[in-house]
Amino acid sequence: MISCSSLVLIMHNCIIKRNRKTLLSHPTFIDLFCGAGLFSEGLRSSGLCPVYAVDLDSKSVASYRRNVAQVAEVDDARNIPTDVKGDVLIAGPPCQGFSTLGRRDPKDARNKLSLVVPDWAQAVDAKIVVVENVPKFLETSTAKRMINALEHLDYSIETYVLEATQFGAAQFRQRVFIIASKSGPIGVPIPTVERPRTVREEVLDRPIDAFDPMHRWPEPGALALERFKTIPNCGDKRDIMRLRPDLCPPSWARLGCNATDVWGRINPDKPSNTIRCTFQNPSKGRYIHPFENRALSLREGARLQGVPDSWIFCGEPYPIARQIGNGVPVPLAKAIGGQIVATFNRMRRKGEMTGNAA
């Protein structure tokens, strides 16, 4: 006869085994150049489990650990650990060298960081690899070298350029996804919304807690405040030049009406422009609040990236703005994650899955 204590122990062990099986049923992923974890958050909300993430920026890693999972480390992505395995490898290598909004310097040392991805894929035994970047990246010799290296490791390659507004983000933002798979085709995600969400829906119609530490913006100086007051709804630098030329530096007259989005108010009834690292600087784009005389707050910028209001980023305002602007919109990342989970489920039904996702 089994004693009560033995029966309790057996039941306890069964629960542990069941929970362990449940945990292992979720495909695992590793995030290179993880930043604050927006890409990871999209995958996590799709049902994947983060097991390791790495970035050189300590504040970004602190944000990741605070909001996503306690698996991120501060390190150079060129250092590959020997004890980490994952079903999926995702990477968002620096895009400043390829972005049309940046300098596009071919000598930028960061341009070649994506070449570590194939080495990681082999080391961690990833079944699926997802590399995200600006669309121009796909045209570079670096991308071609990375893709060739992945093909030599027997991955099949798919590439998609996706628009974030089609997946629920209230922000125009195109990103390219290079997907390398040993699990069959992943397939392009189907848009999840019939029409784009607007800034009004995502930011203005949802009250922000007055005590939210992320609801912060730079206090404008006297000159900036006068410019704000001059700009009408949906207006921009051209209105300042027309209505208050005394507020304009000589350089504006020399440039004429080029760069019309700078010192621009956001149209509340459309998605915003791409949220950049400098979205709290009105001279960098159309980032002025639709109705108030100020730049967007950190929370408002995060909302346009699809970040939950429960997230609190680590660091001072400018580094936080960089963390927000550098990320993949969470709804777009979630769409990619959904395709990956569907692929693993399909393979599991066929009995072809081994490893963590089995």
The percentage of residues in the chain with a pLDDT greater than 70, rounded to a whole number, is 85
pLDDT (mean) for 149-166? 98
pLDDT (mean) for 293-307? 98
pLDDT of residue 72: 98
Element (H, E) at 160: strand 156-163
Indicate the DSSP class of residue 257: T
Q: Say which residue the tokens 């994952």 belong to.
A: 86
Q: Which CATH number fits domain 27-193+328-353: 3.30.540.10, 3.40.1410.10, 3.40.50.1860, 3.40.50.150?
A: 3.40.50.150
pLDDT of residue 9: 39
The CA distance from 87 to 106, in Å, is 33
The CA distance from 335 to 189, in Å, is 6
pLDDT of residue 253: 82
The predicted-structure confidence for 177-188, as pLDDT tens digits, reads as follows 999 999 889 999
Q: pTM score > 0.85 for this model? A: yes
Alpha helices (runs of H) in 247-316, residue ranges in sequence order:
250-255, 298-304
In contact, 161 and 136? CB cutoff 8 Å:
no
The CA distance from 185 to 20, in Å, is 29
Identify the CA nearest to 306 among candidates 268, 333, 279, 336.
333
pLDDT (mean) for 48-66? 98
The predicted-structure confidence for 58-96, as pLDDT tens digits, reads as follows 999 999 999 999 999 999 999 999 999 999 999 999 965
Band of the pLDDT at 11, cuts 50, 70, 90? very low
pLDDT of residue 26: 85
In contact, 121 and 89? CB cutoff 8 Å:
yes
The predicted-structure confidence for 194-216, as pLDDT tens digits, reads as follows 999 999 999 999 999 989 999 99
pLDDT at residue 140 is higher than 80 = yes
pLDDT of residue 2: 43
pLDDT of residue 224: 98
pLDDT at residue 171 is higher than 80 = yes
pLDDT of residue 106: 56
Give residues with Cβ within 8 angstroms of 219, minimum separation 6. none
pLDDT at residue 311 is higher than 50 = yes
Please, what's the largest Cα pairwise distance for the chain? 95
Residue 171: C-alpha distances to residues 256, 273, 275 (Å): 27, 6, 7
Residue 292: C-alpha distances to residues 83, 204, 208, 214, 238 (Å): 52, 11, 15, 17, 19
Q: Where are the domains of the chain?
A: 27-193+328-353, 199-324
Q: Give the neighbor-by-neighbor strand order of the sheet with 128-133.
A: 72-74, 49-55, 28-32, 88-91, 128-133, 174-181, 156-163
Band of the pLDDT at 153, cuts 50, 70, 90? very high
Give residues with Cβ within 8 angstroms of 139, minimum separation 6. none
pLDDT at residue 314 is higher than 50 = yes
Which class does domain 199-324 fall in? alpha beta
Q: Say which residue the tokens 């979720």 belong to.
A: 26
The CA distance from 329 to 54, in Å, is 19
pLDDT (mean) for 313-326? 97
Arithmetic mean of pLDDT over the chain: 89
